[in-house]
Chain A
Amino acid sequence: SQQGEEDPQALSIQEGENATMNCSYKTSINNLQWYRQNSGRGLVHLILIRSNEREKHSGRLRVTLDTSKKSSSLLITASRAADTASYFCATVGVSGGGADGLTFGKGTHLIIQP
């Protein structure tokens, strides 16, 4: 089954710095999605990038996708304390129909030090 693996498992940076998280997966995908989870809450969708796209932006977020390396990265620029959360990548395979379930990695725990 598809499964993204995030790297690093934990990341601590100073407020204002950029944070980069990586995701690797095993087989071909239709798209890759990034989610954020604040402590004690459900996951919140951040961005979806399709397999034919290489880069996508949303506010301070930049996502890249390299299908040849089966990897994606999430960059958060000018980090803020409120960005402290766990970040997950999730994939849906090419064989999946529209109703397939997303498979999540174990996440990167990001801590922004004030």
Chain B
Amino acid sequence: DAGVIQSPRHEVTEMGQEVTLRCKPISGHNSLFWYRQTMMRGLELLIYFNNNVPIDDSGMPEDRFSAKMPNASFSTLKIQPSEPRDSAVYFCASSLGGAGSSPLHFGNGTRLTVT
């Protein structure tokens, strides 16, 4: 079991550029979560999917953020256009069943720096 795989591990981009973060959940897990972590705000839940369907995107900060899960083994989080305040570590996590009953398995994150 390779665990949750995120790419890239680091991303440095200029303000205004499009950024795409990728996630491959653990095979067989049917829930997928995107979190953002900063020193100021801690871990924030951005969006989660169940069986590839977005269930709650109320944590997505604004329309510049979008997430997709075209199939059970792949998800993307896109920021367009990016801004310096988007700089953070973005984590993807998956679980077997919902977080209410199953632990989350996290990837090692993508550290995004927007200059």
Contacts and interface: CB of A to CB of B under 8 A. Distances in A.
Interface of A: 30-31, 33, 35, 40-45, 48, 88, 92, 96-107
A102 B104 contact: yes
A7 to B, nearest CB: 14
A104 B43 contact: yes
B70 interface: no
A97 B100 CA distance: 7
Of B45, B50, B99, most A-chain CB atoms within 10 Å: B99
Interface in B91-109: 91, 93, 97-101, 103-109
Residue in A30, A35, A99, A103 whose Cβ sees the most chain B Cβ within 10 Å? A99
Given A101-B56, A101-B99, A41 B42 contact: no
Interface of B: 4, 31, 33, 35, 42-43, 45, 48, 50, 55-56, 59, 91, 93, 97-101, 103-109
B108 to A, nearest CB: 5
A106 B39 CA distance: 9
Given A42-B107, A43-B91, A99-B31, A105 B42 contact: yes
A40 B107 CA distance: 11
A102 B51 CA distance: 17
Given A42-B91, A101-B56, A105-B42, A31 B100 contact: yes
Given A42-B91, A88-B43, A102 B99 contact: yes
11 contacts: A35-B104, A41-B109, A42-B4, A42-B93, A48-B103, A88-B43, A92-B100, A97-B100, A100-B48, A101-B33, A104-B43
Given A42-B106, A99-B31, A101-B33, A107 B99 contact: no
B108 A42 contact: yes
Given A101-B45, A106-B42, A45 B103 contact: yes
Contact of A98 (B33, B97, B108): B97
A31 B95 CA distance: 15
B100 A104 contact: no
Most buried by A among B42, B97, B98, B100: B100
